[in-house]
Structure 1
Amino acid sequence: MKSRYLLGICALLFSGFVHATELTAVTEMLPPLNYEEQGVVTGYSTELLQAVLQTAGLSAPISILPWARAYQTAQTQPNTIIYSIVRTAEREPLFDWIGPISKRQIFLFKLRARKDVEVSTLSDARKYRIGAVREMAATQQLIKQGFNPEESLDLAPTDESNVKKLFLNRVDLIVALDWSAYFLAKQNGHSVTELEPVLLLDNSHAYYFGLNKQSDAALTGKLNQAFEQVRASGQMDKLKSKYVRD
């Protein structure tokens, strides 16, 4: 009887500890996965995270930050979730991973009207000025492949900045997700037909939620269990049909 009483107390304390954990989430403007609309953070990944948190009996305020700042925050502050983040070999030991939440296709885009910009291989792209987001996985990959931030890469805090620079002819190419580039083109008053994907850079990775490695150990298991419940319920497919056109 006494042991059962103690087990019950421990369970209550554990439950209360998990619920009392101050969990926060950081993200960037990357529509339609995560973005702000009329002061509210929304998008496919945001709604998915909210469903996972609700299933887990947790909550977290969400802040939209420039990606480099969000990335630094998630690495240095325990109990912080970052999304939508690409799971790469370099990042593998930095976070606990929940997902995958979405597939990812990264292209080099140019303006269709720029007949002077001709790219069929990655080597061809070295001749041009390329807009890329700081700390973006695709940017890091280009740097590893010899693209110099001081010469060929024009680094910006957001994808929207790069799309605007492309239409102003301040860069010749941009690195972007396909549906994100099209979404942002429309948001800025342009037709998607004005964009031309010229080279697929990567479709080998996926997006995840990343949890700071120094977080409460109970959170990772709780969030992964909740994620699997949400996926099994069909909510992910409903959200994809709402936001993402594969």
Structure 2
Amino acid sequence: MTHTLAYRMSLGLLLSGWLLVSGAQAQTIRAVTETTPWTYLRDGRPAGLVTEIVEMTLQRAGFSDYRLAVYPWARAYDMALHEPGVLIFMIARTPAREPLFKWVGEFMALNYHLFRLKGRDEIGVSRLADARAYTVGVLRDDVRHQYLQANGHTRLVVSAESIDNFRKLLNRQVDLVVLTETEAASLCEQLRIDCGRIEKVHTLRDMSTGLYMAYSAATPDAIVERTRLAFDQVKATGALKKLPPGK
């Protein structure tokens, strides 16, 4: 009787594990992101170094049914916040977001800076509170938008795309924008302007964080764990070393 019970329990555990794996493989994963220097559309298809790493991870995890898409940040974030089976990548990991997602792995660390047009010496920021006196361009529902709102900044001008936000700075529609050095260089390149036209005025050290890939909270744990293990394997190949260090 004891042997029979043990056999049935073992069989049940094996069957449960098989169902978890099969279910994880069967579910369509929607991997979403925004336009960044490492994630963008090329000839209408998602491309970029981080996009390639995400695809390598999903393939290594054994997921054959996945879809990659580049959206405005607010749409990608809303999908990951409310729908199961959504993998959002290049998302900053913050204390407020910690319980909202199932975190997989970090691509890179980064620092954010306030930028102004060079020569606008009337815009002085020696501490974050000083920036409340100026209009600041932000990306809708981005971590910078959330951070500045939480710190009492009310003169925020919201854009759907990073490049639109940057254009507002160049056209003097906003006084400041929050960017990483890599983002700033990429936006200058896209618009074919000299990056000497802008300058850093303050570093938001409290915002120093990492950019991750993370699943929506309703995603089955089996999918999350398989992806996490696969990401660690991809990372071990040195693929992430091609990404720039945080600046």
Distance, in Å, in 1 between the alignment partners of 2:20 and 2:151 is 47
SS in structure 1 opposite 2:211?
Answer: strand
5 Å-filtered alignment, 1:49-88, equals 49-59=54-64, 60-88=66-94
Alignment counterpart, residue 105 of structure 1, candidates 108, 111, 117: 111
Distance, in Å, in 1 between the alignment partners of 2:169 and 2:208 is 26
1:193-218 superposed Cα distances (whole Å, 9 cap, x missing partner): 21201111135310111101111221
CA contact (8 A) 2:111 2:246 kept: no
1:166-185 superposed Cα distances (whole Å, 9 cap, x missing partner): 11111111112221122011
Distance, in Å, in 2 between the alignment partners of 1:123 and 1:7 is 57
Distance, in Å, in 2 between the alignment partners of 1:182 and 1:138 is 18
Give the equivalent residue in structure 1 for 2:125.
Answer: 119
Matched residue type, 2:158 = L
1:132-159 superposed Cα distances (whole Å, 9 cap, x missing partner): 11111122111111101xxx11111121
Distance, in Å, in 2 between the alignment partners of 1:7 and 1:93 is 29
Equivalences, count:
239
Change (3 A) 1:175 1:38: same
Give the equivalent residue in structure 1 for 2:166.
Answer: 163
SS in structure 2 opposite 1:169?
Answer: coil
Report the more deviating stretch, 201-210 or 5-14: 5-14
Distance, in Å, in 2 between the alignment partners of 1:10 and 1:121 is 55
Change (3 A) 1:229 1:168: same
Task: Using the TM superposition, give the Cα deviation of residue 10 of structure 1 relative to its aligned residue in structure 2, in angstroms.
Answer: 6.1
Give the equivalent residue in structure 2 for 1:134.
Answer: 140
SS in structure 2 opposite 1:147?
Answer: coil
State yes or no: 1:36 paired with 2:36: no
Give the equivalent residue in structure 1 for 2:228.
Answer: 224
Matched residue type, 1:166 = L
CA contact (8 A) 1:133 1:158 kept: yes
Alignment counterpart, residue 236 of structure 1, candidates 220, 227, 240: 240
Matched residue type, 2:167 = K
Alignment counterpart, residue 210 of structure 1, candidates 210, 214, 217: 214
Task: Using the TM superposition, give the Cα deviation of residue 163 of structure 1 relative to its aligned residue in structure 2, in angstroms.
Answer: 0.7
State yes or no: 1:48 paired with 2:26: no
CA contact (8 A) 1:107 1:176 kept: yes
5 Å-filtered alignment, 1:9-20, equals 13-20=19-26
Report the more deviating stretch, 217-226 or 13-22: 13-22
Distance, in Å, in 1 between the alignment partners of 2:176 and 2:47 is 28
Task: Using the TM superposition, give the Cα deviation of residue 116 of structure 1 relative to its aligned residue in structure 2, in angstroms.
Answer: 2.8
Is there any run of 5+ residues in structure 1 with no aligned partner, and where? Answer: none
Change (3 A) 1:123 1:216: closer
* TM-score, reference length from structure 1: 0.88
Q: Give RMSD over aligned pairs.
A: 2.3
1:106-127 superposed Cα distances (whole Å, 9 cap, x missing partner): 1111111323322222232222
Identity over the aligned pairs, expressed in percent?
A: 32
Alignment counterpart, residue 25 of structure 1, candidates 22, 26, 31: 31
CA contact (8 A) 1:26 1:82 kept: yes
Task: Using the TM superposition, give the Cα deviation of residue 41 of structure 1 relative to its aligned residue in structure 2, in angstroms.
Answer: 1.3
Change (3 A) 1:235 1:174: same
SS in structure 2 opposite 1:61?
Answer: strand
Give the equivalent residue in structure 1 for 2:4.
Answer: none
1:6-37 superposed Cα distances (whole Å, 9 cap, x missing partner): 887666544432221111111111x2132112
Is there any run of 5+ residues in structure 2 with no aligned partner, and where? Answer: 1-6
Task: Using the TM superposition, give the Cα deviation of residue 71 of structure 1 relative to its aligned residue in structure 2, in angstroms.
Answer: 0.9
Change (3 A) 1:69 1:167: same
CA contact (8 A) 1:182 1:195 kept: no
